[in-house]
């Protein structure tokens, strides 16, 4: 996509993955290496959908969706438990019995010297498996290998013909040490016997995604603690029941929250917010709250349940770390069930490579569609936008203009759409020719004047951003346009050092505005305000002040720089 952000070269950050398996929430710092061409980013969106399967997985007639969602068979995996990595046959058989094993094209072992490691090569050419599914699968696969093979210290998964549509190569590397921080017990102990291992696998396949980890009614980033369920087999509905406080649901079409209730039944893929505040404004102050999540199959039978425990310490509500509860990671939206939803989801997924903000939005116009043999091709004009607060305005901080885009989807038997190809035209001199190759002749004139539609696309994005503001109880001006910014009035050389050089080595300064004003950022569910201001010292020098505060005005961090000639000097 073509960026409309006026910022300097875009910096792509890969956020650590937060896990909560085995009772402790920690952060895994993943090394994801991008090769061969322009950088892209895969955001872990909170859906560990790829479960293992039994010994019949080699049947070539399996349904791909069911294959990815099928249940782990602990007996088929436990037989490969070993203290040592050196047996290549044992490792190979284990990998072949894990999800995506059919795409394994070879392994190599590093056993000469510590750290002992494993590298696995995969080829996903000509598949419609999504990139985030692949990454989530690798994450689970690594956890299982570390639990079954005692002396493996690192695992690298290399992919070729990646399904992002860009034909890139990706490498995913995981360390036992970094994983171990997320578990209550030593990973090896989770395979001490088949019963313990079976329970361990169950926690990998029935998850409750809870966000944020801590909450107070004063937070404007969320109306409560968001809870969503993910299960390993078909689910018709999910029942949420709170013993204290209330449950809220959000209607995306109206942007309104429901009245608070104690129990609610929702379609699988929906989520609720738990809030301590009743519709009458009364605040629940119980020391402990339990939200029970019960799963029902298509026949209406109860099939499983879990609990979310929320502890109140007198000022903050905190989610208790228990097995199967993943805290601090937002969940992915349900699979799209019509072409409009599919196009919207594809644009947002593609847009995750832009500089992230608080809310991702999209705008699109579907010019025409073609459907044959379970494949749907959509001819569109598309735009994506990340919105965030700058100087109090909820504005588009990064994204694209109006891009002619052809999207190809496979339509599955269950009526959902999976993206197969996302194609944009070439830049520069090849733009017009590539448009004519991508789109049928009847659409050429309409597509080549697509910039006229940007106002409509921007309007769609602003509407989505406004609905998001309603969902968090915030009022502000919404604009996809540029927010006026006043730059610091100081020596040019000093300004370059302060806003271009020092920010490279200091994440706090990098988060602060490069202009005189404010911007806001959500960090682990908590809103922070970063501000850059200018004043004078007592002896007449210019002073640039950077600070980070909470919503209540509490200062978290502050730097002051005195501008002496062309040198910014940090003041204690």
Q: What is the pLDDT of residues 423-480, one digit of tens each?
A: 999 988 999 999 999 999 999 988 987 666 788 899 999 998 988 887 777 889 999 9
Ramachandran category for residue 294: left, alpha or beta (phi over 0 → left; psi -120 to 50 → alpha): beta
Weakest mean pLDDT among 105-109, 128-132, 553-557: 128-132
Q: Give the residue, 164 or 124, on which the prediction is more confident.
A: 124
Query: pLDDT band for position 422 (50/70/90)?
Result: very high
Q: What is the pLDDT of residue 173?
A: 87
Length of the chain as a residue count: 572
Kindly give the pairing relationship between strand 288-296 and strand 237-242.
antiparallel
Higher pLDDT, 5 or 75: 75
Pick from 71-80, 235-244, 428-437: least confident: 71-80
Model pLDDT, residue 212: 86
Interacting residues of 51 by C-beta distance below 8 A, sequence separation 6+: 68, 69, 70, 71, 72, 99, 140, 204, 205, 232
Evaluate if residue 26 carries a pLDDT over 50: no
| Mean pLDDT across 317-327 | 78
pLDDT band at 354 (very low <50, low <70, confident <90, very high): confident
The DSSP call for residue 27 is: E
pLDDT in the model for residue 561:
97
Candidate from 388-392, 480-484, 557-561 with smallest mean pLDDT: 480-484
128: left (phi over 0), alpha (psi -120 to 50) or beta: alpha
Query: Which segments within 246-390 are labelled E, that is strand?
Result: 246-248, 250-251, 256-257, 263-267, 271-275, 288-296, 302-312, 317-319, 325-327, 359-372, 375-390
Could you give the count of Cα atoms lying within 13 Å of 237 in the half-sphere of its Cβ? 9
* Phi, psi dihedral angles at 180 (to 5 degrees): -60, -30
pLDDT band at 240 (very low <50, low <70, confident <90, very high): very high
User: Can you tell me the distance from the alpha carbon of 182 to that of 19, in angstroms, rounded to the nearest whole number?
Assistant: 6
Is the peptide bond preceding residue 317 cis, with omega within 30 degrees of 0? no
φ, ψ for residue 9, nearest 5 deg: -45, 135
DSSP assigned state of 471: H
- The mean pLDDT of the chain is 80
Give the rounded distance of the alpha carbon of 460 from its chain centre. Answer: 22
Query: What pLDDT score was predicted for residue 533?
Result: 97
Q: Residue 488's pLDDT is what?
A: 95
Q: Answer yes or no: is pLDDT of 19 > 80.
A: no
Instruction: Flag whether pLDDT at 333 surpasses 60.
Output: no
Q: Tokens 């346009």 correspond to what residue?
A: 481
Q: How many Cβ atoms are within 10 Å of 237's Cβ, its own excluded?
A: 15
H or E element in which residue 229 lies: strand 225-230
Which residues on adjacent β-strands are paired with residue 555? 549
User: pLDDT digit string (tens) for 132-191?
Assistant: 567 767 888 898 999 999 999 999 999 886 444 445 577 888 888 877 766 768 899 999
Kindly tell me if the per-residue pLDDT of 22 is higher than 60.
no
Pairing mode of beta strands 17-20, 417-423:
unpaired
What whole-number distance in Å separates Cα of residue 269 and Cα of residue 235? Answer: 9
Q: CA 493 to CA 386: how far, in whole Å?
A: 31
Burial of 565 (C-beta count, 10 Å sphere; 0-12/13-18/19+): exposed
Q: Is the pLDDT of residue 252 over 70?
A: no
Model confidence at 38: pLDDT above 50: no
**Tokens of residue 495, six digits:** 């300004």
% of the chain at pLDDT higher than 90? 44
If you compute the radius of gyration of the chain from its CA atoms, what whole number of angstroms results?
Answer: 25
CA-CA distance, 222 to 209, in Å (whole number)? 15
Please identify which residue in the block is written with the tokens 């799963």.
295
Global pTM reads: 0.52
CATH T-level topology, domain 207-327: Immunoglobulin-like (2.60.40)
């Amino acid at each position: 996509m073509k960026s409309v952000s006026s910022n300097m070269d875009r910096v792509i950050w890969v956020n650590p993955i937060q896990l909560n398996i085995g009772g402790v929430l920690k952060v895994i710092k993943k090394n994801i290496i991008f090769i061969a061409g322009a950088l892209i980013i895969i955001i872990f969106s909170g859906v560990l959908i790829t479960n293992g399967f039994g010994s019949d997985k080699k049947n070539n007639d399996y349904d791909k969706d069911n294959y990815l969602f099928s249940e782990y068979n602990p007996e088929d995996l436990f037989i490969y438990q070993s203290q040592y990595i050196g047996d290549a046959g044992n490792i190979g058989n284990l990998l072949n019995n894990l999800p995506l094993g059919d795409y394994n094209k070879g392994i190599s072992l590093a056993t000469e010297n510590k750290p002992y490691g494993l590298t696995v090569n995969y080829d996903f050419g000509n598949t419609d498996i999504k990139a985030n599914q692949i990454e989530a699968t690798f994450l689970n696969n690594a956890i299982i290998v570390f639990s079954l093979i005692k002396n493996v210290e690192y695992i690298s998964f290399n992919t070729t013909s990646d399904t992002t549509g860009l034909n890139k190569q990706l490498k995913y590397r995981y360390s036992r040490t970094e994983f171990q921080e997320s578990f209550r017990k030593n990973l090896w102990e989770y395979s001490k016997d088949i019963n313990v291992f079976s329970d361990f696998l169950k926690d990998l396949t029935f998850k409750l995604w809870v966000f944020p980890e801590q909450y107070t009614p004063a937070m404007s980033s969320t109306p409560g603690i968001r809870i969503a369920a993910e299960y390993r087999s078909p689910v018709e509905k999910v029942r949420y029941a709170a013993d204290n406080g209330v449950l809220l649901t959000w209607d995306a079409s109206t942007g309104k929250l429901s009245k608070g209730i104690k129990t609610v039944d929702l379609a699988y893929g929906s989520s609720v917010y738990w809030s301590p505040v009743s519709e009458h404004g009364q605040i629940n102050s119980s020391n402990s709250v339990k939200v029970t999540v019960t799963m029902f199959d298509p026949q209406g039978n109860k099939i499983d349940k879990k609990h979310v425990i929320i502890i109140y310490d007198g000022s903050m509500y905190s989610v208790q770390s228990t097995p199967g509860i993943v805290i601090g990671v937002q969940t992915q939206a349900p699979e799209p069930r019509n072409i409009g939803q599919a196009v919207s989801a594809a644009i947002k997924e593609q847009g995750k490579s832009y500089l992230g903000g608080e809310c991702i939005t999209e705008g699109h116009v579907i010019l025409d569609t073609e459907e044959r043999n379970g494949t749907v091709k959509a001819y569109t004009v598309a735009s994506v936008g990340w919105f965030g607060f700058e100087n109090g305005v909820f504005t588009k901080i990064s994204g694209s203009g109006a891009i002619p885009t052809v999207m190809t989807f496979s339509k599955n038997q269950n009526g959902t759409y999976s993206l197969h190809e996302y194609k944009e035209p070439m830049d520069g001199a090849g733009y017009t020719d590539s448009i004519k190759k991508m789109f049928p002749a009847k659409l050429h004139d309409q597509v080549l004047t697509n910039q006229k539609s940007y106002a409509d696309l921007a309007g769609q994005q602003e509407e989505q951003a406004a609905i998001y503001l309603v969902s968090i109880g915030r009022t502000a001006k919404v604009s996809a346009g540029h927010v006026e910014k006043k730059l610091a009035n100081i020596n040019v050389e000093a300004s370059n050092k302060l806003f271009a050089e020092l920010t490279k080595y200091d994440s706090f300064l990098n988060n602060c505005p490069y202009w005189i004003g404010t911007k806001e950022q959500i960090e682990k569910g908590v809103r922070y305000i970063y501000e850059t201001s200018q004043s004078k010292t007592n002896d007449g020098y210019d002073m640039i002040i950077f600070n980070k505060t909470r919503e209540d005005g509490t200062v978290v961090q502050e730097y002051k720089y005195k501008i002496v000639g062309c040198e910014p000097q940090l003041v204690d």
